[in-house]
Copies of this chain bind each other. A is one copy, B any other.
Amino acid sequence: MSTKRKVYYCPVEFTLDQIAGKWKILIVLQLRFGAKRYTELIKKVRGITPKMLSQHLKDLEQQGIIHRQIFAEIPPKVEYSLTKEGEKLFPIIDSLAQWGSVNMEKEKGSEIV
C-alpha cells in the first residue's frame, strides 16, 4: 500500500491496490481466528519475516483494518485484532478460500495439511 493519491475508476482496482502483496490477506486470515501477538503471527503466517510483518501491520492499522493494543507489561505485550472494517474483508477471504479449495486439488503435488 502506498500513500500516493490516486484516482480510481473501478472499485475492483481500488480493492486490489489496498490488499495487494503477498502478506496482507494472510495476516487478516490469521487474525480472524482471534487477536494475536507479534510473535504468534510470526509463527502462524508461514514464511513471513519480522520486517514484512511489522511493515504490513503498520499499513493495515493505517487502513483501519486492524487494531493495535499495547499492554503495559514486562516483557511487553502487543495484541493485534481486526476492526469492524477488517471484518468486512471476510467475504473476500471466503471467496478466495472457496476457489482455492476447489482448484488446489487439481494440482499434482499439492497437499492440504
Which of B12, B22, B96 is in CB contact (< 8 Å) with A100? B12
Q: Name the residue on B nearest A16 (C-beta).
A: B25
Contact between B99 and A88, CB atoms less than 8 A apart: yes
Question: With the chains together, A98 CA to B10 CA distance in Å?
Answer: 11
Contact between A96 and B5, CB atoms less than 8 A apart: no
Q: Which residues of B contact A93 (CB under 8 A)?
A: 12
Q: Which residues of B contact A22 (CB under 8 A)?
A: 16, 20
Q: Name the residue on B nearest A23 (C-beta).
A: B16
- Is the C-beta of A74 less than 8 angstroms from some C-beta in chain B? no
Proximity string of chain A (93-113) to chain B, C-beta cutoff 8 Å, 1 when within and 0 when not: 111111111111001011111
Proximity string of chain A (1-25) to chain B, C-beta cutoff 8 Å, 1 when within and 0 when not: 0000111111111111010101001
Query: What 7 pairs between A and B have smallest CB-CB spacing?
Result: A11-B100, A15-B100, A91-B95, A14-B100, A15-B96, A92-B95, A11-B101
